[in-house]
Every structure is written in structure tokens, then in C-alpha cells.
């Protein structure tokens, strides 16, 4: 017997929260409303070397192309905002900052395991149901789906912002053949604020809600494998891996609650790492220090490139 869709949706949300997701909402599996925008964004070269974003374009902009028979998308989010210790002995050794999402264990594995558990539970509740669990490596428009599911609204910095947690959230989805009642999207509450645009040191946020990856510190320190354009290097500051500036200045993050998820506890307690340590790492030392971390997305030569860029910036500043 197929359960009542409204009752099932309530049970899905209850179980999702029970297994550790902070937010959960449901969107339809209809095609993306941003298909033409994404196509133009890719054609303009704003993805730079991220060719994978266009490689499965038809699937990315239409969940039913990715999962035939898809009717609904269950969207979840986890708060990763963990407290950082103040460095009590800063000394003179230069240090590089790491984006908060990468300080704990690799969120891909954590979220996938929980999504699989939710998907298994769902298939037990509804015989013959199709499910596909997705994190950010899957060809889905996860921020649009999260917005449609009421997880939060798309901020001017292109991050999803929840009114209670802010934008310190990681997303996941289950695309399913079960037709479920959909949730109402969140209203955009950015208003006239433009702090993220004004704070971005490379002007990567070219207009509200529009990001040019070619100028984004997060992209350049993680995805970009070649040398970084000279005119952008001075703006890097001390960011070794990723960048949180547009989130740090966002008013919705000023009172963000800390996560209670142990897996997100920072492996570098103050969110920074000694740059000379990075430059001296052997391949084995790199693998050991970053075991189980999302930071392994960046190979050692690129991480060392980033460290050299920061040191050069500091040398220039001190002259």
C-alpha cells in the first residue's frame, strides 16, 4: 500500500533530521529554471577549466534526464560552522587560511552515507521506488533545488542562505520517483545589502547573484591547476585553500549557530596552517596530514603554489 504523500513527506523530514541533517525540504524534479543562464555562463568561459560543469549539461539541467522517472527531489543541508581557537602563540611564522568547510572530515563521505541511509529507508517504505543520492559531484543544480525546496534563498554571493543558520551549510539531494508535496521556496532577504560584492578582493561577484569563477579565490586555490594571473595574486591575502570572505561579511552569518556534528571539528584548530610546513611536505606527509579531508581535492604541487603566492604577497607588503 502506497503511503499518503503528505504523511510520507512528514516522515521523510523527521527521519532525515533524526539521522543528522539540520534542514530538509522537497522540490519538484522539473527542469532547471536557469538552463539558459548556465548555458551562457559556460559559453562565456566563466567556468574556466571546470569542463565537467558542461560535460553532462542535459542531465545537470533536468533531473529527469539524470534519473528517468524522477518526480521529486528531497534536499538536505548540514551546518558546518565549527568554532575556531584563537592562536595564542602566533609568532612570526606565516600561516595560510583554510575555508571552514574543509577543516573537518570530508563532507562528501559524511553526507553520502546519511543520504544512502535515508534512501534505503525510503525504498523500504515505498516498494519499487527509485532513488539516487547526490552530493556536489553529481550533475545536479543543487543550489537551485535547495532554494526551491525552502532550504534557503540564493544570496547575492551565490551561496544558499538560511535565515536561522546562515550560509554555512553543505547540501545533498535524493532524486526519487515518488511524487511528494513540494515545499515553498524561501523569500530572498538580501534586500539592498551588497557587503559580499564590496568585500570580494578580486571582484569575482560581478553583479548580485553572478559569480565569475575565473576571479574567485576559492576556485583559483582549489580547481585552477595552472599559475595564477599576476594581477590577481596580491588580492589572495593569506588564503591557502578556498575563501570565506563573502560569507564572513554576510549579516545573516553574524549570529550563526555552531554545528554539533563532531565530524566537522577542525583538524587545524585555528583554521590555519604553517606555510613552511606545507612547502616542506613530502607526498607521504601531505597524504598523512590531510587523510580523510576534502582538502585532498588540491594536489600537493597546487597547494605549494598557493603557499608560495601567499609568501610573495607578504614579502611585497613588508617592503
| pLDDT, tens digit, 9 for 90 and up, residues 277-305 | 999 999 999 999 999 999 999 999 999 99
Phi and psi at 262, nearest 5°, equal -60, -30
Instruction: Give the pLDDT of residue 98.
Output: 98
Please answer whether residues 173 and 133 qualify as being in contact, where contact means their C-beta atoms are separated by less than 8 angstroms: yes
pLDDT one-digit tens code per residue, 263-279: 999 999 999 999 999 99
d(CA 156, CA 83): 25
Instruction: Give the pLDDT of residue 51.
Output: 95
Catalytic residue among 48, 136, 188, 274: 136
Cα torsion angle, 234, 239, 242, 243, sign: negative
For the chain, give every domain's residue range. 5-84+105-176, 195-318
Global pTM value: 0.95
Residues 6+ apart with CB under 8 A from 263: 104, 105, 107, 110
Active-site annotation holds for 43: no
Mean pLDDT by 10 residues, the chain (319 residues): 90 98 98 97 97 95 98 98 82 88 96 98 96 95 98 98 98 98 97 98 97 98 94 94 98 97 96 96 97 95 96 72
Q: Grid coordinates in use for 242? A: 578556498
Amino acid at each position: 500500500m502506497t503511503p499518503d504523500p503528505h504523511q510520507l513527506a512528514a516522515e521523510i523530514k523527521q527521519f532525515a533530521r533524526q539521522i543528522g541533517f539540520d534542514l530538509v525540504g522537497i522540490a519538484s524534479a522539473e527542469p532547471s529554471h536557469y538552463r539558459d543562464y548556465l548555458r551562457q555562463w559556460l559559453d562565456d568561459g566563466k567556468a574556466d577549466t571546470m569542463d565537467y560543469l558542461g560535460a553532462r549539461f542535459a542531465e545537470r539541467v533536468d533531473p529527469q534526464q539524470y534519473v528517468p522517472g524522477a518526480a521529486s527531489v528531497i534536499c538536505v543541508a548540514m551546518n558546518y560552522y565549527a568554532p575556531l581557537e584563537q592562536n595564542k602563540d602566533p609568532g612570526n611564522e606565516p600561516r595560510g587560511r583554510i575555508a571552514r568547510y574543509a577543516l573537518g572530515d570530508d563532507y562528501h563521505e559524511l553526507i553520502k552515507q546519511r543520504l544512502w541511509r535515508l534512501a534505503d529507508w525510503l525504498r523500504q517504505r515505498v516498494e519499487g521506488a527509485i532513488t539516487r543520492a547526490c552530493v556536489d559531484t553529481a550533475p545536479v543544480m543543487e543550489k537551485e533545488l535547495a532554494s526551491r525546496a525552502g532550504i534557503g534563498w540564493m544570496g547575492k554571493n551565490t551561496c544558499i542562505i538560511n535565515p536561522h543558520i546562515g550560509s554555512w551549510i553543505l547540501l545533498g539531494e535524493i532524486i526519487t520517483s515518488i511524487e511528494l508535496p513540494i515545499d515553498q521556496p524561501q523569500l530572498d532577504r538580501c534586500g539592498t545589502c551588497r557587503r559580499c560584492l564590496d568585500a570580494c578582493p578580486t571582484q569575482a561577484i560581478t553583479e548580485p547573484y553572478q559569480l565569475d569563477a575565473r576571479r574567485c579565490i576559492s576556485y583559483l586555490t582549489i580547481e585552477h591547476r595552472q599559475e595564477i594571473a599576476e594581477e590577481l595574486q596580491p588580492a589572495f591575502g593569506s588564503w591557502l585553500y578556498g575563501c570565506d570572505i563573502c560569507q564572513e561579511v554576510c549579516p545573516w552569518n553574524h549570529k550563526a549557530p555552531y554545528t554539533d556534528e563532531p565530524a566537522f571539528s577542525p583538524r587545524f584548530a585555528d583554521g590555519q596552517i604553517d606555510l613552511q610546513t606545507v612547502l616542506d611536505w613530502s607526498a607521504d606527509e601531505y597524504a598523512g596530514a590531510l587523510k580523510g579531508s576534502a582538502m585532498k581535492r588540491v594536489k600537493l604541487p597546487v597547494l605549494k603554489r598557493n603557499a608560495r603566492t601567499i609568501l610573495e604577497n607578504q614579502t611585497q607588503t613588508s617592503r
